[in-house]
Amino acid sequence: MSKEAPNSIPPAVFQRTMLLLAEKRTAMTTLRTGAAISLIPLSILSFLVAMMEKLDLHADPILLGITLAGNAVLVGFGLYLIRRGLIRMRFHDRKLDELKEQYPELQELFYQNPV
């Protein structure tokens, strides 16, 4: 027989909150990965511009076209990951807000920004 304190959080709700926070952290990692993948083509293009004369790339448009197509694919994949991370973060924020409305005791666990 375990008696809960009047303002204690039920263990199932606390575990659900922890799971949502872990999923939100995963969504943030997806966002960060998407940003990193989107920036890889920038460094590839800057290298190509710097080495254009030495590598004689302006004479081979097929190689340049393949490189630009690969860069476009990387940018597209990075933007997809960024979008997915943002959507998942908003979803988890909404679920956490619903839990905080149902159980006001949870609000003590989160940082409150003074207005």
Over residues 83-94, the pLDDT tens digits come to 999 999 999 999
- Whether residue 4 is predicted with pLDDT greater than 70 in this model: the reply is no
- Whether residue 73 is predicted with pLDDT greater than 90 in this model: the reply is yes
Res 6: pLDDT: 46
Q: For the chain, which residues make up each domain, given as ranges? A: 38-103
Summarize the confidence of residues 37-56 as an average pLDDT.
86
- Whether residue 2 is predicted with pLDDT greater than 70 in this model: the reply is no
Task: Please give the model's pTM, rounded to 2 decimal places.
Answer: 0.79
Summarize the confidence of residues 49-54 as an average pLDDT.
81
Task: Supply the DSSP string of 23-85, one letter for each residue.
Answer: HHHHHHHHHHHHHHHHHHHHHHHHHHHHHHHHHTGGG-HHHHHHHHHHHHHHHHHHHHHHHHH
- Whether residue 3 is predicted with pLDDT greater than 60 in this model: the reply is no
